[in-house]
Amino acid sequence: MSHPQRVTVLGATGSIGTSTLDVIARHPERYQVYALTAHTSRETLLSQCIEHQPAIAVLAQEEDAQWLRLELRQARVATEVAVGEQALVDVAQDSSVDIVMAAIVGAAGLLPALAAARAGKRVLLANKEALVMSGALFMQAVETAKATLLPIDSEHNAIYQCLPSEHRGGLARHGVSQLLLTASGGPFRTWSREALAGVTPDQACAHPNWSMGRKISVDSATLMNKGLELIEACWLFDATPEQIQVVVHPQSVIHSMAAYHDGSVLAQLGNPDMRTPIAYGLAWPERIDAGVEALDLFQVARLDFEAPDEGRFPCLRLAREAMQQGGSAPAILNAANEVAVEAFLAKRLGFNAIGDVVAAVLNDQSVEPIDHLETVLNADQHARRTAQQWVSHFAR
């Protein structure tokens, strides 16, 4: 491509968003920021606009937008400021955009990520919840619009790198027998179920290897993150839940693996730094500098592996079962989990009760086949209401 690629970063002020802008800033000749979006972090968005001079910035509230417009005028930055959900969709599908980084957290990221896929963009997907909720529709949109979907979640990015470049149509067709999804095990890997009951939000958000947003940090601690990733991998790689084995690997150096019928296992290794998968997604099929330190194997010294304990961490099992059930079950699981995690972060719910709420909601709500986006959004809304009731029931 002769012109710099124009990039929209959805969720620019978050952990993935800021890492994305860090990589982009290293390659001004290759990338130009078209739009940056944030929910409420207007100060961070302001400094990002001053540095990257996007055409458009998006915030959720008119009041924050007015503040940003004033500040930008004073700083003599020409960025236009838009507001609301439709504006997120607009900057994701705009004809002048080449690449969309989908890094909004949770179900809120679904519509803009889907819009980017439908518009045939190169979609860098960090927002795993979008795929968990609407996997079939999302993958269909990618295919119909000939979008390029590159997984940013480090495990899926690793698997993508370990698979043949054409891997659609089922794993077996490409000689792959199993995907090995590695998990750090989170900060409470060795804790008893009794000790887990007393975990606080700050403890849950202090991940041993990765620095991430608060929602995904809690998901990592409950292993729901691995469950969501199992579902994500099924959609991305045409795999069944049975073809995916979760392997706890506390060092987070192997980011995941693909096992082949001939006995070969291919792994992707690296320091736990999201700028590696982000740079891979931006430049694919080329490779660019990501600002990541080279892996020092002597310093790593050893790699350990163990099986996950689904007794202490039931969320992984709940996610696998939801995927096996199919239809709206993963969307219900995701919505219930978002409500439960929010309640945990607000100290209204204990750590072990997150899984209890998710299990109760899945048990209550009937599963529908998914043919339209409406079905997904209805299942999501219904599950949120049911989850609120269960949160009150299980509240400390």
Chain positions contacting Mg ion, by CB under 5 A: 153-155
Tokens 């693909």 sit on residue: 258
Token couple for 197: 């009951």
According to the annotation, is 215 in a ligand binding site? no
Token couple for 210: 């990765």
According to the annotation, is 194 in a ligand binding site? no
According to the annotation, is 96 in a ligand binding site? no
According to the annotation, is 146 in a ligand binding site? no
Q: Return the residue nearest ligand NAD (CB atom).
A: 14
State whether the Cα torsion 114-5-23-238 is positive or negative.
positive
H-run or E-run covering 275: helix 275-283
Rounded to 10°, the helix 275-283/154-162 angle is 50
CB nearer to ligand NAD: give 93 or 360: 93
CB nearer to Mg ion: give 134 or 217: 217
User: What is the smallest separation between the CB atom of 179 and ligand NAD, expressed in angstroms?
Assistant: 17
Pairwise CA distance, residues 25 & 9, whole Å: 13
Q: Using CB under 6 A, list all residues that contact ligand NAD.
A: 11-17, 38-39, 41, 60, 103-105, 108, 126-129, 153, 210, 212-213, 216, 274
Asked whether 183 and 223 are in contact (CB, 8 A), the reply is yes
108 makes contact, choosing from Mg ion, ligand NAD, none, with CB < 5 to 8 Å by partner type, with ligand NAD
**Beta carbons within 10 angstroms of residue 303's beta carbon:** 14
According to the annotation, is 128 in a ligand binding site? yes
User: What is the smallest separation between the CB atom of 364 and ligand NAD, expressed in angstroms?
Assistant: 25
126 makes contact, choosing from Mg ion, ligand NAD, none, with CB < 5 to 8 Å by partner type, with ligand NAD
Residue type, 51: E
According to the annotation, is 44 in a ligand binding site? no
CB nearer to ligand NAD: give 13 or 276: 13
CB nearer to Mg ion: give 218 or 379: 218
Pairwise CA distance, residues 170 & 35, whole Å: 36
- At residue 9, the 3 state secondary structure works out as strand
Closest CA to 234 of 294, 178, 305: 178
According to the annotation, is 15 in a ligand binding site? yes
Indicate the pairing of strand 254-260 with strand 265-269. Answer: antiparallel
330 makes contact, choosing from Mg ion, ligand NAD, none, with CB < 5 to 8 Å by partner type, with none
- At residue 297, the 3 state secondary structure works out as helix
Pairwise CA distance, residues 212 & 219, whole Å: 11
Closest CA to 218 of 196, 234, 233, 237: 196
User: What is the smallest separation between the CB atom of 261 and ligand NAD, expressed in angstroms?
Assistant: 29
CB nearer to Mg ion: give 125 or 349: 125
CB nearer to ligand NAD: give 175 or 213: 213
According to the annotation, is 217 in a ligand binding site? no
Annotated binding site for Mn(2+): 153, 155, 229
Instruction: Indicate the annotated binding residues for 1-deoxy-D-xylulose 5-phosphate.
Output: 128, 154-155, 184, 207, 220, 225-226, 229
State the binding site: 13-16, 127-129, 153-155, 184, 207, 213, 220, 225-226, 229
